[in-house]
Chain A
Amino acid sequence: MSQIEAVRDDAELVSLCLAGRQGAFDGLVSRHHRRIYNMVYRMVGNSEDAADLTQDAFLRAYERLHTFQLDRSFIAWMRAIASNLTIDHLRRRRQPTVSLDERLESGAQHADESPGSSPAEHVVLAEDSRRVLSAVQELPEKQRAVLILRHVEGLKMSEIAQALRMPVGTVKTMLFRGRAAVRKIVGEL
C-alpha cells in the first residue's frame, strides 16, 4: 500500500498536495469523484455535462486548494464548488436538459455502483424515482440544486445555505416550492 493510499484523512491529503505531492490530489479525486459526479448528474440530467462539470469542479478545487480550511469538510467544500458551477452552467444554458428518461433508457455509461448488478439493473430506476427525477429537471436551476442537495445528498438546510451562499430562509422557500412543483408535475405518486 502506497503512502497516499494509507492516508485516511482528507485534510492530510490536502496538506500533502500543498507540499507538492500530486498523487495526494489524485487520492482526493479518487475518493470523492463518484459522489460529486452523482450530485451533478442529478442536476444536469446527462452524463456528458456531468463529467465535464465534475472535472471542472475538481480542477477549480485544485487551483484553490491553498484556500481550503483544513478543519472543514473537504466533501462539503467540493459540493459547494460543484453545485455552484452547475448552477452557473444551467443558468447559461437556460434550456430544458436532455430527458433523464431518454438517458436511462439508452443505458449508456450508467451503472449502479453496487457490485455484481446486471446490465439491466444498471439502468432500472424505481418508477417513482424516475418520474420525480425527471420532474426535478424541469425546475429552475437553484430550486433543482436545493432539492438534490436536500434529498439526494441528505444535507441540512443550513448546510445547503452555506454551500449555495444563500440565506436559510431562501433555501426553505426553494425547497418547499420545489417539492410542490414536482408534485404538480408528477401528479399522484
Chain B
Amino acid sequence: MDCSHVRPLLDEYFEGVLPERRETEVAGHIAACPDCAAELRQIEMVAAALEAVPRVAPAAHLLRTISLRAAELPAPAARRTAAGWRWLALVAAVSMAALALVSYLLPLLVSEGLASEVPLARYAEDGAVVLRSWLTAAPGVLVALWTELAAVSRGCVLAVRAAAPTLGLYAAAEIGILMALVLVLHASRRKRRAPQIMLV
C-alpha cells in the first residue's frame, strides 16, 4: 500500500473499525512511513485534546430551577392517561371527519356516475359481495368500513360499487384530514409551555 491508499483509511484505523487484514497493512505502512505516521498523530492529538477537556460545573441554581419547573408540570403518570385520551380524541375526530366527508360526497359521486344507489334490500342481499369487492379493491379495510357506515347513516340506501377514482378520492381526503390533525396536534405540543394547557 502507498500513501494515497493509506491516508483515507487513517481515521478508520484510528477508530479500530478496519477489517483485520487491512488494519495490518495500514499498520505496516505507518511503521515505515513518517508522513502517514505524523498524519495519524494529528488525528490522535485532536481526539486526545477533546478527551482532555476538563468538566465544567453548571450554575448552582440549575438543579433547583429544573426541579421547580418540573413541579409545575402535570405528573408524568397523569400525563400518560391524558396522552391516551388525546390519541383517542384524535382517532374519533378523524373518523367523524371522514364520515362527514363521505356522507357529503356520496350523493355527488352518485350524480357523477362514480357510485350508484343500491336499494336496501339489494344491499342486504348483495352486501357481502359488494363489501368483498371493496376489500379487494380498496387500499385498506377502513375505507370500506367507513363507506358502509356512511350508507347506514344516510338511511341505508347507498353503497359504492366503483372504481379507482372513487377510492383515490376517499383515500386522499382521509389522509389529508389525518395529516392536518397530526400537524395541528404536533404544533400545539411544540408551542405548549404553560402547565394549564398541557392536559387535554
Contact = CB atoms under 8 A, between A and B. Distances in A.
Interface size class of A (residues with CB under 8 A): 35 or more
Contacts of A30: 63
Interface in A27-41: 29-30, 33-34, 37-38, 41
Interface string B22-46: 0000000000000000000011011
Contacts of B57: 34, 110-113
Interface in A97-130: 109-114, 125-126, 128-129
A189 B49 CA distance: 9
B76 A63 contact: yes
Contacts, number: 138
B45, B62, B67, B80: which has the most chain A beta carbons within 10 Å? B62
Contacts of A126: 49, 52
Contacts of B73: 59, 62-63
A188 B39 CA distance: 10
B62 A189 contact: no
Contacts of A41: 56
B88 to A, nearest CB: 16
Interface string B142-162: 000000000000000000000
A47 B58 contact: yes
A17 B67 CA distance: 13
A112 B55 contact: yes
Contacts of B45: 128, 189
B54 interface: yes
A111 B62 CA distance: 14
Interface size class of B (residues with CB under 8 A): 35 or more
Interface in A151-189: 151-152, 154, 157, 172, 175-176, 179-180, 182-183, 186, 188-189
B45, B53, B73: which has the most chain A beta carbons within 10 Å? B53
Contacts of A128: 45, 48-49, 52
A6 interface: no
A51 B182 CA distance: 31
A152 B50 contact: yes
Contact of A132 (B11, B50, B66, B69): B50
A81 interface: no
A38 B46 contact: no
27 contacts: A20-B75, A20-B77, A22-B75, A29-B66, A38-B55, A38-B56, A42-B53, A47-B59, A51-B62, A54-B58, A54-B66, A55-B69, A59-B70, A62-B73, A62-B76, A109-B59, A110-B56, A126-B49, A128-B49, A128-B52, A131-B49, A148-B50, A151-B47, A172-B15, A172-B17, A176-B12, A179-B43
Given A110-B57, A133-B49, 19 more contacts: A25-B76, A26-B63, A29-B63, A29-B67, A34-B58, A47-B56, A51-B58, A51-B59, A54-B62, A62-B70, A65-B76, A113-B55, A128-B45, A133-B50, A148-B50, A151-B46, A176-B11, A183-B46, A189-B42
Q: 9 tightest A-B contacts by CB?
A: A151-B50, A65-B76, A132-B49, A66-B80, A176-B11, A189-B45, A37-B58, A128-B49, A111-B57
